Every structure is written in structure tokens, then in C-alpha cells.
Structure 1
Amino acid sequence: MKKSTLLGGLSPQRFLQDYWQKKPLLIRQAFPAFEPLIERDALFNLASEDDVESRLISIVDNQWHLQNGPFDRLPKLKQKAWTLLVQGVNLHSESANALLNQFRFIPDARLDDLMISYATDNGGVGPHFDSYDVFLLQAHGKRQWKISAQDDLSLINDLPLKILKNFQPEQEFILEPGDMLYLPPQYAHDGVAIGECMTYSIGFRAPSYQELGEAFLQFMADSIDLPGRYTDPDLKATNRPAEISNLMFDKVAAELAKVEFTDDDVRIFLGEYLSEPKANVFFDPPSQPMSLAAFKKVASKNGVVLSRKTRMLYRGKFVFINGESLVTDKNDKTLLAALADERRLNGPAIRALSPDAIETLHAWHEDGWILVG
């Protein structure tokens, strides 16, 4: 699939310049003659798995209901107005993963997952907004979308879902298979199924600075070094025993002011944080582990590929994979960066790696992070 088709004739750079986080874009037949990548029953089976995040949203007697999976049983297909949302389908389907990879003109640090929404007639999740960019690809059936650039993003109280209180649609579209709608963050929208339908959502990561700040402080807790213990040999008697003294305040404040962080601290934190798989992601080690020698022989011939579930990033001298970081020499770093970018490394490149890097790849293979061939 050419990116010019994917983006309705726009180059990735033009799309980013004119639309990304600025305004919506409706792309008719972004994927011509598109067919669903996963059958309905297979999607339902995924929703029954413990390691798959899923939600069921329904309207019963004009009341919104939300249930979290896994699901042993779903409503009957003839029942109207229910929606099944299955997150991270790209982790469990090679074709879904290949579709998600077509959006890698956006950095991996921002690309999140592919969610599939299955809905019966009139199904939807109500008018809402997302805090991140999203591409909405119609995979099966039809869905009516209403969108609005409204500033009023207040929500209805006491609902299990975040539904806008005063949704005022400004535009309306009906999407058919292959059509796709891009929406920037905080753009109000409401999608309603016209008959049975499936919609694929390509979502992006947009952590809040508060979330990043809290995670960074936890990360730094392991590296802070403040030797010594509070002492006060010059302590004076007080007639206000409940007051924290200036002496204690000043000494503690001076010690805390010694806490510093470097650019490398931020690099390592960000790489490990952004490459950390979600809590429900589990890797499958090889059923027949290889010795280091056997792994080197096979990998040098057939190359390696990253597991669909592996998140691998790099910056500067650091390489990050599944929440871990390492520093390598210049040659190894170049090759491992190629593995992160291409999601694979061929045999000749494997042979060019140092013995230490080969040993690292072998450990990753034993953990199920990479596959041979």
C-alpha cells in the first residue's frame, strides 16, 4: 500500500504539516476494496482471552453500561446498540500488525496500537473526545460519524463512560469499507453503526506530563545518592515543640537541592518508559531453546525478526527494548538501530555484530523478544 493512497494523495510530510494535530482529514478509499483482517468470531475469541484488553459497551433502557473483559459470553447478534472494543489486536494478528506498521511514518515512540470496534446496528460509545490522535478505518459495514471542533468538552456526570454533555456536530460523514477519518486530539466525535460494522482505530501515545513526571521521579529513586543522616548538634531548647524549626527546614532543603539529573538520565528514562510493554503483554519463549552456538549459526544464516509484541527504540548511544536499556559500541549500535527501524536484521548483519551483541540477541531470543528467520 503506497502512503500516497493511505493519506489520500498526500505525502506523509504534507499530512503532518497540514493536518497532524491541526484539523480532521476524511480519506475516501484509503484502502481500496478493503476486507476485514480478522473474522468476527476470531475477534470474539480474542475478547475471551485473559491477556487481551476488551470492553463491552451497551445501551439498555436508555442507560449506558460498561463491562470489562475477558468475556465468556457476548450479547446476541440480533440485539441492537452494543459495541465490543478489543485493544492491541496487532499483538495477536500478523495482518493487523502489518496494517499498523503502515503508519510508521509516525515515530514508534508515539504509535500505540490497533483497536477493533465491533458494533451491532446503532452501536457506539457516545459522543466523546480522545486525548490523542486517531485514524478511524472502516473495515466492514457502514458507520456514521459526526464531528465537531467545539471548545466545550464538559462531560455528563455519573456515567461509566466519558460522554460529552453538549455535543454540537458540525460535520457528518458515512464511512464504508476502506474509508478512513483522521481526527486530532480533543476533537469531539460520535460514531454510530449502520447495521453490523467493524471499525479499526489506529491510536497514538500521548502521556500527560504529570504521568511522565511521576514515572521519572520513581525512576530516579534508584539513582539518588544523598549520604549521611540528619543531625542537629546545635539544637536549642524550645517552648514551641510542635513547630518545625528553621534549622531543620534549611538543612533538609539544602540536601534535597543536591538532587540533580542529567540528559542521560532523561534519555534512559524516556527510552525505558516508552519501550515498556503494557501490563497485559506476555512473551512466549521458544519451545526449543537453542544454545548460544546454535543460535549464532542459525541467526547468521536466516537473520532475526522482532516479535510483534516487542517495542524497540534508540537514542544516541542507548538502545531500548521492552523496558530495558543498553549501551553498545558504534558498530553494534548502528546494526541494532537498524533492527529497531526495520524490525528485522539479515544474516550478514548478524555476522557483523560483536560476540557481546550476539550474546544479547541470544538472551532476547530466549525471552521470546526476537525470532529467528
Structure 2
Amino acid sequence: MDVNQVLPLLGGLSPDEFMKNHWQKKPLLVRQAIHNFKPLLDRGELFELAASEDSQARLVIQKPGETPPWQFKQGPFERRELPALKRPGWTVLVQGVDLQNDSVHDLMNQFRFVPDARLDDLMISFATDGGGVGPHFDSYDVFLLQAQGQRRWRIGHQKDLTLQPDVPLKILANFEPEEEFVLEPGDMLYLPLLHAHDGIAIGECMTYSIGFRSPSRGELARELLQRLAEQAEDAVGCAVYRDPNQAAVSQPGEIPPQMLAFARDALEDALKDPDALARSLGEYLTEPKANVWFETAEFDAASSGGVVRLDRRTKMMFDAKHIFINGESFRASGSDATLMRRLSDERSLSRQDVDRISSEARALIEGWAEAGWLHGL
């Protein structure tokens, strides 16, 4: 992607200008970000996804005058479990639609001027008149693309993030909107993380949310330490603690200082590998979500014409020394690394590219194809 090319998607800004001036800084409203945009799934197809075990669906129903005034349910939902279309004030949200539909996946790929390590998923929300999820803030950046009907957005950059008590949703107690917009199909609103917002459907409407994850320090530390722990025995060996010079003690509850030193040395040895942290991070960032599965298949390089493309569910990234794909890591260097990075960036390789890779890299690609991680064209 040419990051200096102006894009209608960003209101005439280039990706470079957008990232410098708006990303995690301030909202951006783009009228007709995608001209004459039509929903990529109709209402019935979205409801089918909401009923699937492979999808993550949620239902939010507003109940004015009741306590609590909101009802929240986790899916999947059969159609008969959803309220009638004539009933106002309800919303069904389906996560990860990019994993279920190639057209939605292609749409999400238009936002790859942000690193894949941050790109999370595309969620579709359908709402009847007046439907919404209440004023709230998200712990991630989001592009809100209107796909059908109209939605009124009120937004504000407030510091008071106190939540309403005793409701099943994280709804702001003291929402203070500063701006208001009505979005038509093809309009889009970018909001940085923690920017308060409230979207209300005007009639029946559908909104696409392209979200970008922002892992917390605690989440990263937990995941990386767990992965490092799994590798620790190989890194430090199986030597057991020995204390032939341990003296008799009058305070048996005290931990021996030499045992603390032994533990410290073991931990330091586990972290001596300079690539261990980078390897664990790449594996974590490319780990498929729990509801993602792949169909194994026979791969015939001849019938594919030598051209390969990543499955829409596959996550592939790289760093200076590794290639990461679906939670696994591989060392890569030279021309193979160049071509594997191209596969990660472009999500496909031409026949000419495939012909240039080594026999070892070709064996990897064939294994990935048989696992359903990529396909021949």
C-alpha cells in the first residue's frame, strides 16, 4: 500500500496524514468514505450468522421504565429468539464477520495501513428504530461505517468514565456529548480509544465496526510469560535444586536464600535467548481466536498453477528474524524471508514467487495448504 496516496476512504487524506493527525488523537468524520455503499450481507444473512456456533453474537434490548432498563444476552440466537422487527430499541451485534465472508474480509483489508498486529475484526450491528447500546467508550480504536439506514452519533472526549451501576452493559453514568452527526450509507466515523460515543438508529439500520485491539500491559505480560514458561524447560534444562551444605535450621518456615538465588538464575537463563520474547509475541499476535477452525484439504501445486493465497481466517506476520502464522513461528532469512514477508503483506504469492522459494519453504507452504491455512488459486 502506498501510504502517501490520498484515499476517499479517509476523506482525501493519505494513510500517512491520517496516522499522524488523527490516529489515537482525534475523531474524523468522512462523508461518503465508500461512495454508494451497499451492505455486503443482507439482514437475513446476518441473522443466519447470529445463529451460528462459529460466530460471536450479542443481543441488546432497551426496556424503558423497567429495572434495569437494558437486557443483554449472549448468542448464538435462532431467528425466533430475536425480537420482532416492528419492535423498536433492540440491537444484534455479530463479531468477526470478516472470518465468515470474503467480501467483508476484503473490506477490512482496506484498513491495513494500520499494522495487522492491531487489526482485530469487523463487527456488524443491526438495530431497529431507536436501537443502540447506550453511551459508552471502547478500549480500542474503531472505524464506524454506515452500511444501511441512518444512525445518529453523539461523541465527546470526556474524562469522567464512571459507569452506571447495576446494568448488564458498560454504560456511562455522566455522558457529555460535544458533537453530533447523522451518518448515511457510505459515511464513516473514526473514534480513538476511550472516546465516548452513543449511536442511535434512525429507523432500521446496519453499521460496520472495524476495530483495532489495544492489549493491556497486564494481558501482554500474562500471555508472554505463559508462552515463555512453556519454553523454559528447553531453555534452562532439568537440573534440580541441590543444597549439600544446607545447615540445620531453627526457623523451618523461612525460604532459604540459596533457593531464591537458584530460582532467579533459572529465570534469567530462560530469558537469555534474545529472540524468546519476540518469538512469543509473534506467536501470541497470530494465534487464531477460539472460535476459528480450518478445513484440511489436499493440495496439488500443479492444479493451483503455483499461485497461493492466505485463507481469510489466517493471521500471518513477521519480524526481523521470524515468520509467524496462526500461532506458530519459523526462522527465515535471505530470499525465502523476503517472499514470506510478501505473502504476509499481500496475502498471496504469484507463481513466479512460488517458483523462487527453496524446497524447505515450499514444504512449509504445502503443509500450510493441507492444514487449510492457505489455498491455491
Provide TM-score, normalisation by structure 1: 0.93
Per-residue deviation, residues 1-27 of structure 1 (Å, max 9, x unmatched): x85200001111111111110001111
C-alpha distance in 2 between matches for 1:147 and 1:180: 14
Contact 1:296/1:358 (8 A) holds in 2: no
**Distance verdict in 2 for CA 1:362–1:28, change over 3 Å:** same
CA offset at residue 221 of structure 1? 1.1
Match for residue 76 of structure 2 among 66, 70, 76? 70
Alignment match, 2:98: 90
Per-residue deviation, residues 161-180 of structure 1 (Å, max 9, x unmatched): 11111111111111111111
Per-residue deviation, residues 121-167 of structure 1 (Å, max 9, x unmatched): 11101111011110001110111111111001111223221111111
Query: Runs of at least 4 residues of structure 1 off by over 2 A?
Result: 226-263
Q: Does 1:241 align with 2:241?
A: no
Secondary structure of residue in 2 paired with 1:223 = helix
CA offset at residue 358 of structure 1? 1.6
C-alpha distance in 2 between matches for 1:257 and 1:95: 48
Contact 2:26/2:192 (8 A) holds in 1: yes
Contact 2:57/2:94 (8 A) holds in 1: yes
Alignment match, 1:167: 175
C-alpha distance in 2 between matches for 1:332 and 1:131: 37
Match for residue 123 of structure 1 among 127, 131, 139? 131
CA offset at residue 189 of structure 1? 0.5
Q: Does 1:279 align with 2:287?
A: no
C-alpha distance in 2 between matches for 1:179 and 1:352: 43
Alignment match, 2:56: 53
Q: Does 1:101 align with 2:109?
A: yes
Alignment match, 2:89: 81
Per-residue deviation, residues 265-312 of structure 1 (Å, max 9, x unmatched): 1221111111111110111223xx24xxxx23234x250111110111
Per-residue deviation, residues 328-353 of structure 1 (Å, max 9, x unmatched): 34111111111111111111111111
Match for residue 16 of structure 1 among 15, 19, 37? 19
Residue type at the aligned position of 1:272 = E
Secondary structure of residue in 1 paired with 2:136 = coil
What is the aligned length? 365
Secondary structure of residue in 2 paired with 1:221 = helix
C-alpha distance in 2 between matches for 1:306 and 1:107: 17
C-alpha distance in 2 between matches for 1:275 and 1:145: 33
Structure 2 unaligned regions, length at least 5: none
Match for residue 46 of structure 2 among 40, 43, 46? 43
Alignment match, 2:9: 6
**Which deviates further from its counterpart, 105-114 or 60-69?**
60-69
Contact 2:308/2:349 (8 A) holds in 1: yes
Residue type at the aligned position of 1:132 = Y
Per-residue deviation, residues 175-225 of structure 1 (Å, max 9, x unmatched): 111111000010000101111000000100211111111111111113321
Residue type at the aligned position of 2:320 = G
**Which deviates further from its counterpart, 221-230 or 123-132?**
221-230
Contact 2:308/2:350 (8 A) holds in 1: yes
The aligned runs of 1:116-265 (5 Å cut-off) are 116-224=124-232, 225=236, 227-253=238-264, 255-265=266-276
The Cα RMSD (Å) is 1.7
Residue type at the aligned position of 2:147 = A
Alignment match, 1:336: 340
**Which deviates further from its counterpart, 239-248 or 178-187?**
239-248
Secondary structure of residue in 2 paired with 1:178 = coil
Contact 1:275/1:321 (8 A) holds in 2: yes
Secondary structure of residue in 2 paired with 1:202 = strand
Match for residue 29 of structure 2 among 5, 26, 30? 26
**Which deviates further from its counterpart, 50-59 or 245-254?**
245-254
Residue type at the aligned position of 1:260 = L
C-alpha distance in 1 between matches for 2:208 and 2:195: 18
Q: Does 1:323 align with 2:327?
A: yes
CA offset at residue 236 of structure 1? 3.3
**Distance verdict in 2 for CA 1:246–1:347, change over 3 Å:** closer
Alignment match, 2:302: 297
Structure 1 unaligned regions, length at least 5: none
Residue type at the aligned position of 1:365 = A
C-alpha distance in 2 between matches for 1:356 and 1:303: 17
C-alpha distance in 2 between matches for 1:130 and 1:173: 19
C-alpha distance in 2 between matches for 1:129 and 1:33: 29
**Distance verdict in 2 for CA 1:366–1:258, change over 3 Å:** closer
CA offset at residue 372 of structure 1? 0.7
**Percent pairwise identity:** 51
**Distance verdict in 2 for CA 1:234–1:175, change over 3 Å:** same
Per-residue deviation, residues 26-48 of structure 1 (Å, max 9, x unmatched): 11111111111110000000011
Contact 1:90/1:114 (8 A) holds in 2: yes
Provide TM-score, normalisation by structure 2: 0.92
